[in-house]
Amino acid sequence: MKLKAVLFDFDGTIIDLNFKYEESRMAIFKFLKELGFNISFFTLRDTAQTILEKVERQIIEKSINVKLSDIKNKIWFIMDKFEIEAVNSSELLRETESILDFLSEKGVKKGLVTNSGRKAVQLALIKHGLENSFDVIVTRDEVDKLKPFGDGIKLALRVIDVQTENALYVGDSINDVLAAKDANVYSIAIGRWPQHIEKLRKLSPSYIVKSLSETADLLKQLMD
């Protein structure tokens, strides 16, 4: 593999945002209920992309007189609030700086592709001294479809002018692996717990590791 770019997921991969996931969903569902949506079709584990798809379905099926774009903007506003709050207690994962430094030394471009919002991402990067560490950053604010779709990865590669066969995506979730597959790039799945590794393995990512430290070791092997 001639590796020219490594793209990273954000929350859970290089930074632990300590995001109040379920509370954010409850706030979103409260907003949707006030507009006449049947929230029994939603669950607390729904991803942002899943919520949008269910919202669009109900708008069509129930003829709810709202614009999907307006709903999306409001949902993003709610999520921004929770994510920005989470930045204060966020923690930079060990090996993040060393792996980024290694890639820079090798002349490999670095990117972030995340379902988090740009406001929180920028604040977190500043907090942890990484504001100048990436060649491209793609958040939910720049794409129509979030992970598990590969739109963000594809956009990032267009911006830095790297072909898919020369790129690799690093993430810690099922959606990260699916997004990499959709974008037709290599993937490194980080599974920190045995049960998580098994779920990731079923998706057949290019590589599976247990930590960001193992990711760094793997990248060194791939570039030797």
CATH of the domain at 191: 3.40.50.1000
Residues 106 and 186 in one domain: yes
- Of 68, 87, 106, the one marking the end of a domain is 87
Strands 207-209 and 5-8: unpaired
Residues 77 and 120 in one domain: no
Given this model, what pLDDT does residue 206 score? 97
Residues 62 and 113 in one domain: no
Residues 11 and 31 in one domain: no
- Of 87, 103, 136, the one marking the end of a domain is 87
Residues 40 and 148 in one domain: no
* Residue 180, domain extent: 5-17+91-223
What SS3 class is residue 39? helix
Number of domains in the chain: 2
Strands 15-16 and 91-92: antiparallel
- CA–CA separation, 137 and 125 (whole Å): 11
Residue 204 DSSP code? -
Classify burial at 17, counting beta carbons within 10 Å of its beta carbon; exposed 0-12, middle 13-18, buried 19 or more.
Answer: buried
**Long-range contact set of residues 100-103: C-beta below 8 Å, sequence gap at least 24:** 100/130, 100/133, 102/216, 102/219, 102/220, 103/6, 103/219
Given this model, what pLDDT does residue 177 score? 98
Tell how far CA 88 is from the center of its chain: 19
- Of 87, 110, 141, the one marking the end of a domain is 87
Residues 105 and 33 in one domain: no
Q: Do 113 and 7 meet the contact criterion of CB atoms below 8 Å apart? A: yes
Residue 134's Cβ-side half-sphere holds a number of Cα atoms within 13 Å equal to 25
Residues 113 and 10 in one domain: yes
Residues 118 and 167 in one domain: yes
Q: Which strands, in side-by-side order, build the sheet including 5-8?
A: 136-138, 109-113, 5-8, 167-171, 186-190, 207-209
Residues 110 and 214 in one domain: yes
Given this model, what pLDDT does residue 85 score? 97
- List the chain residues with pLDDT less than 70: none
Residue 121 DSSP code? H
Residues 165 and 217 in one domain: yes
* Angle between helix 96-105 and helix 212-223 axes, rounded to 10 deg: 10
Q: For residue 152, which phi and psi values (nearest 5 degrees)?
A: -65, -40
Residues 120 and 218 in one domain: yes
Residues 44 and 97 in one domain: no
